[in-house]
Structure 1
Amino acid sequence: MERHDAAVSLLASQVKQFYDRKKQFRIYHGSTNSTRQSQYWPDSMVDTSRLSNVLAVDTEKKLALVEPNVPMDKLVEATMANGLVPPVVMEFPGITAGGGFAGTSGESSSFKYGFFDRTVNAIEMVLANGDIIQATSIENSDIFYGAAASFGTLGVATLLEIQLIDAKPFVELMYFPVTSVEESVRKFEEATADPSTDYLDGILFAKDNGVICVGRLKDKPDVGVRVQRFSRSTDPWFYLHARKLIAKSNKPVTEAIPLVDYLFRYDRGGFWVGAYAFQYFVTPFNRVTRWALDQFMHTRVMYHALHKSGHSKRYIIQDVAVPYEAAGEFVDYLEKSFGHYPLWLCPLRQRGQSEYSPHGLMAQTADPNAPTMLLNFGIWGPGPTRRRAFVDANRELEHKVHELRGQKWLYAHAYYTEQEFWDIYDRKEYDALRAKYHATYLPSVYDKVKVDVAAEEQALKESWKIWVLAKFWKVWPLSGIYGVCHAAIGGDYLKLRGKKKLA
């Protein structure tokens, strides 16, 4: 803890300097799993990238003491060495514990446990004025609840105490074929009601063709159940494997998957987004090419390439959730507006750290009739090629989700106007927390997640260099090659060279 305390003390002094000058800063983590364009000038950031250690695993209390930049694969490795695992594990190994807390992370166990932040018992924070505090559901409870999903706009989380559960070596996964959205919802409700269900998600390959995956932790495979892995370069991508299984049989199929392979089963190929890279480069998409290019098809590398290539501005990459009863109407809308398949389905227990707390950006407690469960849709695929049409498509999606009383997760591009955004989220509670904890000089959540289309268009009008570059990068396949080359070389893809003075 001495090393940790020294690092946090140094961080607090840096934050205080920004506070004394009332100068905005961004938190630099060293990597990102957001699709938003995140870039950092060295003189306008605080660096938390070295806070990346699992400090302790308490096997009796089933708790882990974790610094914010511990990625999921490192956390799982440390806890499983002690026979334990976090109840909610984000499905990309590079997503960090701090990112899961300060963002919004729900995965295939969230039908039972809720969002990742709900599995956090306590946090240490450097407030925006440089003070260091501890926060729990009892001590400083307002910022404990409010910091969840606040995207670092209330201060810097420097330590998390995370709940753990007993781990088992395998997940017994049952693949259930479904032929409609309504059947998918019924299967989700049935599996949720079964206390033996530990993991639950699904994939729609078409409106009338999908699979619901129901997982249970197991000590060993039952007799006759084959073991399937997904982490090696010779293993299949999970979604392709699931589609192949249900194509062979209209009956449920059962497999045993090593726990780590299950938790990160979507890492290779980034669910199925990696398939679009093969299309872009006009490359055959088969088992041999996937094996040959496997090093480029893991999410850490793919995020690197995505950011350097600028292709996040060309693809619809959104996670949204709607009430179960609206799922059919929403799929009709998606099919008509985008035509993207597959779609990821994931039932989420809709609450943040506490269903009783009014604090927290995502709490949305104003509606007492809000449903307990939402169905998350992962919508990932090419968007319209014209920038204005691309923006309009994203805005229509946001409006449709709001119309259906759903939610959109803010790791991705957000196109709301400021008024639209604060009509959804509780600005009064949020601003009160920012004032109480000295954070009003920092960028707000809206400032951090918005896509400023007007500023983009103005820059294109005012700078011929920006206009020429924009045209240049549209020439196939320049931007893709640039992104892949940077990903292959590695190194930092978020820091900007030189200095830029911010207010």
Structure 2
Amino acid sequence: MYFLSLLHFLKDENPDLFYAVPWSYGTLGLLVAAEIQIVPAKKYVKVEYKPAHSMDEVIKVFSEEITKKSGNEFVEALMYNKEEAVVMTANITDNAEESKVNSIGNFWKPWFFKHVQSYLRTGPGVEYIPLRQYYHRHTRSIFWELQDIVPFGNNLLFRYLFGWMVPPKISLLKLTQGETVRKLYEQNHVVQDMLVPLGKLRESLNCFDKELDLYPLWLCPFLLPSVPGLVHPKGNKDEMYVDLGAYGTPKRKGFHFVETTRRVEEYVRSVHGFQMLYADSHMTREEFRQMFDHTLYDNLRDKLGCKKAFPEIYDKISKAARI
């Protein structure tokens, strides 16, 4: 038997819960409401495209843009091979140069990642994207996964005639998959987001290239605060991290889904990085606890009697739990 109680928590009210709930995946309780900060919306997002043609240049431009004092509201980069990427910075605005407005969400438009790639050839550029369409910039092509499903999907004729049909619903794709196709997909397809310190970006890119050879590769920065909980920097200071998003079919010869994923997971642990838990995880329980700090989490599980009601995080997200 277990009892339910409604708790309110802030940084200074039930702070243990405030810091332990993120990443706990419903294993400390059920989150029934949350207060979030919002900012006023504006009509457009001004996007600046900065191509880079060597890994040194990629890291230099990317690092400068996420640490500059004037700040950017959005920063991301798409790597198209080990030595080429386009770094994008963006800020919301109500004012736009009409000749530079690009409604990328229209179904006849090129897929966004293909549009971005064109700047490697044409050089730096600036354009204005309607706000909602910017937020859905990777939706139509499911990042770049749709090219594996519909290889000709970015063809001009296909976009004009059938572009309104994409993206297909993921639930429909799964429903129409046979068992053989599903197993082949699981054995040869990667969806991983690994969070690594900015200072380890170069060797992380080399690791992903060596193990996966999977491009485009998504680079998305975020500031990891030094606070208690499952995920925090190794030291006592806030630290800039980078999400490396790998989605698709690796081209690296000798790729083996489980063995390769475990090697990448081992590397990420070695640099005090983290794996996004919606992805397939092949870590053991001990390795998982090495990656994620369970100190506060375990204390709350004991204190609140959660063990009688909820499984541990590992028992919810491990590969064995998803079969």
TM-score range normalised by the length of the shorter chain: 0.7 to 0.9
Q: 1:327 to 1:296 in 2, by over 3 A?
A: same
8 Å contact from structure 2 (residues 196, 273) kept in 1: yes
Number of residue pairs aligned between Structure 1 and Structure 2: 312
Residue 295 in structure 1 maps to residue 170 in structure 2: no
8 Å contact from structure 1 (residues 383, 390) kept in 2: no
In structure 1, how many angstroms separate the alpha carbons of the residues matched to 2:61 and 2:94?
25
Match of 2:128 in 1: 256
Partner-residue secondary structure (3-state), 1:185: helix
CA apart distance, 1:186: 1.9
Q: 1:403 to 1:140 in 2, by over 3 A?
A: same
Match of 1:361 in 2: 230
Match of 1:212 among 87, 98, 113: 87
Match of 2:142 in 1: 270
8 Å contact from structure 2 (residues 280, 318) kept in 1: yes
Counterpart residue type for residue 74 of structure 2: Y
In structure 2, how many angstroms separate the alpha carbons of the residues matched to 1:427 and 1:307?
37
Partner-residue secondary structure (3-state), 1:153: coil
CA apart distance, 1:420: 0.7
8 Å contact from structure 1 (residues 268, 294) kept in 2: no
In structure 1, how many angstroms separate the alpha carbons of the residues matched to 2:262 and 2:148?
23
Residue 170 in structure 1 maps to residue 37 in structure 2: no
8 Å contact from structure 1 (residues 350, 371) kept in 2: yes
The within-5 A match list for 1:63-462 is: 129-192=3-66, 193-222=68-97, 225-247=99-121, 249-250=122-123, 252-279=124-151, 285-290=154-159, 292=162, 294-297=164-167, 301-302=169-170, 305-306=173-174, 309=177, 310=182, 311-312=185-186, 314-351=188-225, 355=226, 357-358=227-228, 360-363=229-232, 367-368=234-235, 372-382=239-249, 389-441=256-308, 442-452=310-320
Q: 1:264 to 1:285 in 2, by over 3 A?
A: closer
Q: 1:286 to 1:348 in 2, by over 3 A?
A: same
Q: 1:284 to 1:200 in 2, by over 3 A?
A: closer
Match of 1:489 in 2: none
- Write the deviation string for residues 334-384 of structure 1: whole angstroms up to 9, x where unpaired: 222211111011111113xxx3x42x22235xx226761112111112259
Counterpart residue type for residue 84 of structure 2: N
Partner-residue secondary structure (3-state), 1:133: coil
Counterpart residue type for residue 277 of structure 1: I
Partner-residue secondary structure (3-state), 1:165: coil
Runs of 4+ in 1 over 4 A off after TM superposition: none
8 Å contact from structure 1 (residues 185, 324) kept in 2: no
Match of 1:117 in 2: none
- Write the deviation string for residues 376-403 of structure 1: whole angstroms up to 9, x where unpaired: 1111122599xx9311111111011122
Q: 1:179 to 1:424 in 2, by over 3 A?
A: same
Match of 1:96 in 2: none
- Write the deviation string for residues 394-429 of structure 1: whole angstroms up to 9, x where unpaired: 111101112233221111111100111112222232
CA apart distance, 1:226: 0.9
CA RMSD of the aligned region, Å? 2.6
- Write the deviation string for residues 78-137 of structure 1: whole angstroms up to 9, x where unpaired: xxxxxxxxxxxxxxxxxxxxxxxxxxxxxxxxxxxxxxxxxxxxxxxxxxx321222222
In structure 1, how many angstroms separate the alpha carbons of the residues matched to 2:205 and 2:259?
19
Partner-residue secondary structure (3-state), 1:160: coil
In structure 2, how many angstroms separate the alpha carbons of the residues matched to 1:402 and 1:202?
23
8 Å contact from structure 1 (residues 414, 449) kept in 2: yes
Q: 1:181 to 1:347 in 2, by over 3 A?
A: farther
Q: 1:146 to 1:308 in 2, by over 3 A?
A: farther
Q: 1:285 to 1:189 in 2, by over 3 A?
A: closer
Q: 1:220 to 1:383 in 2, by over 3 A?
A: same
- Greater displacement, 306-315 / 375-384: 306-315
In structure 1, how many angstroms separate the alpha carbons of the residues matched to 2:76 and 2:264?
22
CA apart distance, 1:172: 0.6
Q: TM-score, normalised by structure 1?
A: 0.58
8 Å contact from structure 1 (residues 196, 216) kept in 2: no
In structure 1, how many angstroms separate the alpha carbons of the residues matched to 2:71 and 2:230?
32
8 Å contact from structure 1 (residues 176, 212) kept in 2: yes
In structure 1, how many angstroms separate the alpha carbons of the residues matched to 2:175 and 2:25?
19
In structure 1, how many angstroms separate the alpha carbons of the residues matched to 2:188 and 2:163?
23
- Write the deviation string for residues 405-460 of structure 1: whole angstroms up to 9, x where unpaired: 3221111111100111112222232111112222113111111111129x97xxxx
Q: 1:293 to 1:374 in 2, by over 3 A?
A: same
Counterpart residue type for residue 129 of structure 2: I
Structure 2 stretches of 5 or more lacking a match? Answer: none
Match of 1:99 in 2: none
Q: 1:290 to 1:396 in 2, by over 3 A?
A: farther
In structure 2, how many angstroms separate the alpha carbons of the residues matched to 1:254 and 1:285?
22
8 Å contact from structure 2 (residues 214, 250) kept in 1: no
Partner-residue secondary structure (3-state), 2:137: coil
